[in-house]
Amino acid sequence: MERVRQTSFTPAEHDKYRTMQEVYSRVGAVASWWASFEMEIDLAALRLAGLNASAIAMCFTAHIMGAGRKLDAYVAVAKERGSTKFAAELEAMIKDTASMTERRNRIVHDMWIVESPELIGRFEVTARRKLRSLVVPVSLPALSQCMADIAAHSTAFRNLDLQIQAEVGTSPDKPAP
């Protein structure tokens, strides 16, 4: 008996496939927005350190993994350059970044389950002192909101960086001596 190959999707299968494409597209966008945020931190730290964003300088920042550690390096350079006015803002940025990092990691690294446009979730497994294993419902608008939140966070960092640059006498056009 010869097997018959299915060549078309049912309407439900088509909706599921289209939703999967939407979910994966937004997951990729979250990852891309986050990578841009991390690059902004790298460039700002190099600028404060008085280094041009050359390939050689980027060798150093490329080995600092994660936005939290990148911000630690940025704060150290800012303090070394004499920044004192924005310590509370930097601490708040570090705290907010840790929270956003967790959101980003869950979105990018969890397995996604898409049954239909109305049934979307990520399978979260963590073991931070206690096992947590469950499907967390997520909507497409929630994924879009995460992208918007990352963009706003990145803008807040850029604004804070500009204030710190003004305080210590550097700017995007005039690196530290």
pLDDT per residue rounded down to tens, the chain (177 residues)? 566 666 687 888 888 899 999 999 999 999 999 999 999 999 999 999 988 888 888 888 889 999 999 999 999 999 999 999 999 999 999 999 999 999 999 999 999 999 888 899 999 999 989 999 999 999 999 999 999 999 999 999 999 999 999 999 875 555 555
**What pLDDT was estimated at residue 13?**
85
In a domain, 3, yes or no: no
**HEC profile for the chain?**
CCCCCCCCCCHHHHHHHHHHHHHHHHHHHHHHHHHHHHHHHHHHHHHHHCCCCCHHHHHHHCCCCCHHHHHHHHHHHHHHCCCCCCHHHHHHHHHHHHHHHHHHHHHHHCEEEEEECCEEEEEEEEECCCEEEEEEECCHHHHHHHHHHHHHHHHHHHHHHHHHHHHHCCCCCCCCC
**What pLDDT was estimated at residue 65?**
94
In a domain, 162, yes or no: yes
| Boundaries of domain holding 80 | 11-168
In a domain, 173, yes or no: no
**What pLDDT was estimated at residue 10?**
85
| Distances 125 to 7, 29, 34, 110, 134 between C-alpha atoms, Å | 36, 22, 22, 8, 7
Supply 120's token pair.
């979307």
In a domain, 54, yes or no: yes
**What pLDDT was estimated at residue 35?**
97
In a domain, 5, yes or no: no
In a domain, 36, yes or no: yes
Look at the chain and report how many structural domains it folds into.
1
**What pLDDT was estimated at residue 173?**
54
**What pLDDT was estimated at residue 175?**
53
**What pLDDT was estimated at residue 52?**
84
In a domain, 94, yes or no: yes
In a domain, 176, yes or no: no
